[in-house]
Structure 1
Amino acid sequence: MSQLTLLISLSSFFIAHLFVSGVVSTTFKIENKCDYTVWPGILSSADAPALSTTGFSLQKGESKTITAPASWGGRLWGRTYCSEDSAGKFSCVTGDCGSGKLECSGSGAAPPATLAEFKLDGYGGMDYFDVSLVDGYNLPLLVVPQGGSGQNCTSTGCVVDLNGACPSELKVTSTDGNSVACKSACEAFGSPQYCCNGAYGTPDTCKPSSYSEIFKNACPHAYSYAYDDKTSTFTCASADYQITFCPSPTTSQKASQGQNTENTNTSSNTPLINSTMVYEGALNQNGASPSMKGNVLGSHVIAGIVSFTVAIWQLGQLF
């Protein structure tokens, strides 16, 4: 009988684990579709646990999946033009986190850098996420929810090449003269009206500038300045996320018109920036429908219950 009791206890633990494992973690699939190597960096918020990695390398076409625990918050970005000197110090021309190593180990990105920001399981049990150009821009980035639900559960990002369209006073160039990043006006000039601090530290006093509007016109759903909340924050319930550097321009969200676009492999009516197509959002590229994730979890739970019930019944016949 003690064996039967032990098996029942183990089955209860297993079933509970199945339920819990479906709701306490979120996966991020990070993919590099750029024609060059990108070194992602990750910074957890002060009140959030560190993830399994804070920095790694992605060659062209490579991807990496990491898991974040419930209520995790933080930001992710791509570093470019990275190298290691003769002394073993690692550094990057854009997005460098200053750790001197591949891992950022608690350090954030030096601007300018395109940021993907997350707060999982926040107010109302929703994930909050955005793509921010408040600290400038260094490469295209797209965030696509996978299997989530909610009225504002849609993809966001900035997938146009802003380096080519960057004003000269904001432009960051490499040693060979190539444009590799675009500063924010705050970073370039340090003025309170651009940084939204001092007398300009409220939504009423800090307004979009001609510089932030360059970013906003190119990427309507990305943060362009500190108080650009209304069109730049998105929410999902029970989603995983795909984060893509230099995503392929295959679908259009028609973000500037505020229209929803069904699944499609064509692009039309998209705005132009310097003759470059802007594919904003890529709505409904989800790998699963909002209900699929729950259905898959449910099927695993039911299968586990049935298996253990049968095992318990069979063992019970022996006593």
Structure 2
Amino acid sequence: MAKSRPTLPIAIFLIAISSGPWFSECTNFTIVNRCKETIWPGLIPSKNISTTGLALKSGLSTVFTAPSGWHGRIWGRTGCSFDSSNKGTCLTGGCGNETCSVPGKQPATIAEFTLGELDFYDVSLVGGFNLPMIVTPVQGKGNCSTVGCEGDLRDSCPSELAVKSNGKTIGCQSACDYFKTDEYCCRGTYENPESCQATNYSSSFKKVCPAAYSYAYDAPTSMFTCSNVSDYIVTFCPSRNQTECTYHGHKLVCNESGLKMGIEAITRSWWIVMLTLFATAS
């Protein structure tokens, strides 16, 4: 049986919105799970975004479109279980529901975005670590570097910061969350870049993850800006041989073979998102 495809009017509509000014005000986000385990992407704010509660199995990807001016965060949840009312728990990153309306529980690796004429983006370990994650901007202008953490801090987490389940380290707390002091939390008299400096703990995070925030005032080496970005690729558990990815023709293409497993899933997800937008606009 032949595969169905969009009718001509819908196809024309998709081409029109993808090349017109409406589409240029939005930014595509492709979330890729290269971990060996299922993750549940967390995303806030998530109004009118339908993919945030979906379980993302190993090797699969999903796509969502953020509106102009979106200011939000993305993270991965692990070991989740939800009931028929969409309430439940996760081993890490949980927010109490399948679709998040509040930030996930720390420790969690978090990608942060502020979209505008100039985008600001980073990957933060200020609230701890639960999964390796990188962010790659596509077709932008400026210092559009890939940021995040390819290394796995769970393997080298100081014993006092380790969060365990059944004897296995599933996350690494921040020193702030563990010790709860002004010095580690950069508050009170330490709430400025002069007095809030790197500690032994944040330095150990930085050694493994040099392109991620390790403490509150780590911005000079961790916050990046980019303009005219068409897409962001958020990859969980990236491979070290992954170098460059592009998003052309609504397919994710890399110069290494590792991410090819996500191409078909991404293509399918893109059509679903576009058709949903068409149905909403009708």
TM interval, shorter chain, is 0.7 to 0.9
Work out whether 1:214 is the aligned partner of 2:204.
yes
- SS of the residue 2:195 aligns to: coil
Work out whether 1:42 is the aligned partner of 2:2.
no
Q: CA deviation at 1:25?
A: 0.4
The equivalent residue for 1:117 is 112
The equivalent residue for 1:247 is 238
Q: CA deviation at 1:90?
A: 1.5
Q: CA RMSD in A?
A: 2.1
Q: CA deviation at 1:225?
A: 0.3
| Aligned partner of 2:121 among 113, 118, 129 | 129
The equivalent residue for 2:6 is none
Q: Which sections of structure 2, spanning at least 5 residues, go unmatched?
A: 1-14, 249-282
> Any idea what the Cα deviations from partners look like across 1:267-312, whole Å, max 9, x if unmatched?
xxxxxxxxxxxxxxx4x43346xxxxxxxxxxxxxxxxxxxxxxxx
Q: Distance in 1 between matches of 2:211 and 2:51?
A: 28
Q: How does 1:294-305 map to 2 (within 5 A)?
A: none
Give the counterpart letter for 1:59 in structure 2. K
Q: Tell me, yes or no, if the aligned pair for 1:32 and 1:63 is still in contact at 8 Å.
A: yes
- SS of the residue 1:188 aligns to: helix
Q: Tell me, yes or no, if the aligned pair for 1:128 and 1:233 is still in contact at 8 Å.
A: yes
- SS of the residue 1:194 aligns to: helix
The equivalent residue for 1:183 is 173
The equivalent residue for 2:21 is 20
Number of aligned residues = 233
Q: CA deviation at 1:49?
A: 5.8
Q: Distance in 2 between matches of 1:97 and 1:16?
A: 34
Work out whether 1:169 is the aligned partner of 2:165.
no
Q: Tell me, yes or no, if the aligned pair for 1:32 and 1:245 is still in contact at 8 Å.
A: yes
- SS of the residue 1:94 aligns to: coil
Work out whether 1:138 is the aligned partner of 2:133.
no
Give the counterpart letter for 1:234 in structure 2. F
Q: Tell me, yes or no, if the aligned pair for 1:49 and 1:72 is still in contact at 8 Å.
A: no
- SS of the residue 1:230 aligns to: helix
> Any idea what the Cα deviations from partners look like across 1:197-233, whole Å, max 9, x if unmatched?
1111111111111000011111111000001000101
Q: Distance in 2 between matches of 1:29 and 1:193?
A: 37
Give the counterpart letter for 1:166 in structure 2. C
> Any idea what the Cα deviations from partners look like across 1:250-272, whole Å, max 9, x if unmatched?
04xxxxxxxxxxxxxxxxxxxxx
Q: Which sections of structure 1, spanning at least 5 residues, go unmatched?
A: 1-13, 252-281, 289-319
> Any idea what the Cα deviations from partners look like across 1:122-145, whole Å, max 9, x if unmatched?
xxx111100000000001001111
Q: CA deviation at 1:81?
A: 1.0
Q: Distance in 2 between matches of 1:201 and 1:146?
A: 35
Q: Distance in 2 between matches of 1:163 and 1:216?
A: 14
> Any idea what the Cα deviations from partners look like across 1:78-118, whole Å, max 9, x if unmatched?
000112369974210100112xx3111x2111110000000
User: How has the CA–CA distance of structure 1 residues 85 and 102 changed in structure 2, closer, same or farther, with 3 Å as cutoff?
Assistant: closer
Q: Distance in 1 between matches of 2:85 and 2:42?
A: 22
Q: Distance in 1 between matches of 2:17 and 2:82?
A: 47
| Aligned partner of 2:140 among 135, 148, 166 | 148
Rg larger in structure: 1
Q: CA deviation at 1:54?
A: 3.6
Q: Tell me, yes or no, if the aligned pair for 2:41 and 2:77 is still in contact at 8 Å.
A: yes
User: How has the CA–CA distance of structure 1 residues 196 and 162 changed in structure 2, closer, same or farther, with 3 Å as cutoff?
Assistant: same
Provide TM-score, normalisation by structure 2: 0.78
Over the matched positions of the two proteins, sequence identity in percent amounts to 47
Work out whether 1:234 is the aligned partner of 2:224.
yes
User: How has the CA–CA distance of structure 1 residues 207 and 56 changed in structure 2, closer, same or farther, with 3 Å as cutoff?
Assistant: same
Q: Distance in 2 between matches of 1:85 and 1:173?
A: 24
Q: Tell me, yes or no, if the aligned pair for 1:42 and 1:53 is still in contact at 8 Å.
A: no
Q: Tell me, yes or no, if the aligned pair for 1:140 and 1:160 is still in contact at 8 Å.
A: yes
Q: CA deviation at 1:56?
A: 2.0
Q: Tell me, yes or no, if the aligned pair for 1:144 and 1:286 is still in contact at 8 Å.
A: no
